[in-house]
Amino acid sequence: MKMLPPALRPRPKKPGIKPAKNGNGSGNGAAVDENGKKSKPPLKERAKPVVDGAAEAGVGTIGWVDERSGLTPFLRGFMYRKVPKGINWFQTLGAATMFAFAAQAVTGVFLAMYYDPNPTEAYESAARITNELFLGEFVRGMHRWGASVMIVLIFLHMGRTFFYGAYKYPRELNWIIGVVLLILTMVMGLTGYLLPFDQRSFWATEVAVALTGSGPMIGPYLGDFLRGGAEFGPATLTRFYALHMLLVPGLIAALIGAHLYLVVKLGITAPPWLKAEKRRELSEEEI
C-alpha cells in the first residue's frame, strides 16, 4: 500500500496508543506503528519528524483537511469510478457546457468589478469597459460569445441525451434537472442582454418583457415582476442585474451539482447500440 504519503494516513489519536484501522481503507499497520513509536521518545528526538513535516507542508495540509473531511475516499470514488465501454466524444458535451458556464462565471466576475447597474451609469460603465479598460473589450467579448457557445453546447448536449434515450429509466430525474438548466441558461441570455443598456438591449428587452406580460394568468404578474413595476424603469435594470448575477447563476450552480451527483450515482449512459460482451469473450480479449 504505497498509495498514500504518510501525511494522508490516519494518525494516532494519542501518542503511544495504537489506533484501530480507519474506515477509508488506507490503514497501514506498519506506518501507524512507526508513528506511534516516534511519538514516544522525549522532546529532543521528536523534533526531527516535525521538521520533516514542514518540508512536506503541502502534503501535510492535504492530510490535515483529509483527516477532518474524509475527502480522499470520496475523490477516489469519483475519479476512479468506471465509465461504460464505448463512450464517445458526443458524451463530452455536458462537461463542455459546464466548462462554458465556468468561463462565463469568471469573465462575469471581472465585468461585475467595473459595471454599474444604475440606469444613468450602466451604459457609461459598459462603454468604459469596452473602450478604456485594458483587455476590457476582450473580456466583454468572451462573456458575450461565451453565452452563445454555452447555448449551442447545452442544446447539443440535450440532443445527444435525446437520441441516446438517456432520459429513460433510471435517469428521468436528471433529464428534468437538465431541462430546468436549459431554461435557466436561456433566462441568463435574456437578463444579460439588457445590461449593456444600449438601444439594442433596451428595445429587445422591452419587447421580451411585454411578451411575458401578455401571457394568460401569471403573465401580467411575471411581467410586472421583471419590470419592477408597471412601466419599464430604473428598477428594471437593477432587477435584471440581480437576477443575472445572483439568483439564476446560483440556481444553475446548485442544479449542476445535483445533475453531476446523479450522473455519478447512476453512471454515464452507454451508447444504446452497444451490448455487453459475455464473460468468456472478455477474458479472451484480455489475454
Which residues, in sequence order, are CB contacts of 267 under 8 Å at separation 6+?
A: 81, 83, 84
Whole-angstrom Cα Rg for the chain: 27
The residue (of 65 and 179) whose beta carbon lies closer to other proteins is 179
Pick out residues in 4-63 that bind other proteins (CB under 8 A).
none
Q: Which amino acid is at 274?
A: L
The residue (of 32 and 129) whose beta carbon lies closer to other proteins is 129
From residue 101 to residue 130, what is the string marking binding to other proteins with x (rule CB under 8 A)? --x-------------------x--xx--x
The residue (of 39 and 92) whose beta carbon lies closer to other proteins is 92
The residue (of 31 and 262) whose beta carbon lies closer to other proteins is 262
The residue (of 173 and 253) whose beta carbon lies closer to other proteins is 173
Pick out residues in 65-84 that bind other proteins (CB under 8 A).
78-84
Burial class (CB in 10 A: 0-12, 13-18, 19+), 116: middle
Task: Output the nine-digit C-alpha cell for 46.
Answer: 521528536
Dist CA 200 CA 160 (whole Å): 33
Site stretch for other proteins (CB under 8 A), options 4-12, 18-26, 32-40, 143-151: 143-151
Among 149, 153, 146, 135, CA closest to 108: 146
The residue (of 35 and 236) whose beta carbon lies closer to other proteins is 236
Dist CA 167 CA 175 (whole Å): 5
Dist CA 160 CA 163 (whole Å): 5
Out of 273, 280, 284, 287, point to the residue binding other proteins (CB under 8 A).
273
Q: Which amino acid is at 134?
A: F
Out of 18, 25, 274, 283, point to the residue binding other proteins (CB under 8 A).
274
Binding status of residue 243 toward other proteins by CB under 8 A: no
Burial class (CB in 10 A: 0-12, 13-18, 19+), 228: middle
Task: Output the nine-digit C-alpha cell for 160.
Answer: 445527444
| Per rule CB under 8 A, count of chain residues that contact other proteins | 91
Binding status of residue 166 toward other proteins by CB under 8 A: yes
Out of 109, 113, 247, 282, point to the residue binding other proteins (CB under 8 A).
282
Out of 15, 29, 141, 229, point to the residue binding other proteins (CB under 8 A).
141
